[in-house]
Amino acid sequence: MILVEEHADFVVKNEEEAKHLLRVEIGDLLHMLVRQTPGLKNWATSVQDCVYGMLEGDTKDSCRAVYSEHIGDETKHAVWRIVERILFTTRCRVIASQEADEKIAKFRIRIYDFETGVLMVTSVALLLSVHLPTPMAIVTSIVGIIYSALVVWLKLRRSPLFLEWLKNREVRKRTLACLNNIMPGILSEIREIKESLNLRLSS
């Protein structure tokens, strides 16, 4: 069993780790809840199905049942708030992908503008090399060759394979940032409910 207290400053390393932790913690919470109130077993099963389904990208009717039954019950409402926050974690990758697309689009424009500038400088350098004295012509030609190589490098940077790699890296980075921003709050709420349940059991 993973204790929530151990993850006060938790930072997940990847999405699978976040999903596993959420499954364990919500399962542990529901187990405590059913142990204290056996009548909530069916509802707790719906919550578990709902959460597990969300984490796998699946939408189930059980989530509707969880939502419809949480009103008017303090404990159910507290659990539903956690379910809502877990739902938001499943949006992290979608949001990250949208943000990455915007960043890649801006990157392509900057690369294109820079490439245009380099081509202009290269053309001028090669043109001047024809009319300059030999020593200066050699230097100018070298500059032109360097800039030509830079153009090739820039074209590689605009290649679909590189841009796809860049986007995937950006999506992973932004997804983890999103998860690590949400996870501490979810774990904190789970801890509070567990503490409340423990107080009821001990009273």
DSSP string, 92-119: HHHHHHHHHHHHHHHHHHHHHHHHHHHH
pLDDT at 151 over 70: no
More confident residue, 104 or 156: 104
State mean pLDDT over 181-197: 89
Locus of tokens 């039954």: 69
Place of tokens 């689009």: 105
Write the pLDDT tens digit of every residue in 67-113: 776 666 778 888 888 988 888 888 898 999 999 999 888 888 877 77
Residue 169, C-beta contacts closer than 8 angstroms, at least 6 positions apart: none
Residue bearing tokens 């008017």: 72
- Name the pLDDT band for 20 (thresholds 50, 70, 90): very high
Cβ neighbours of 66 (radius 10 Å): 23
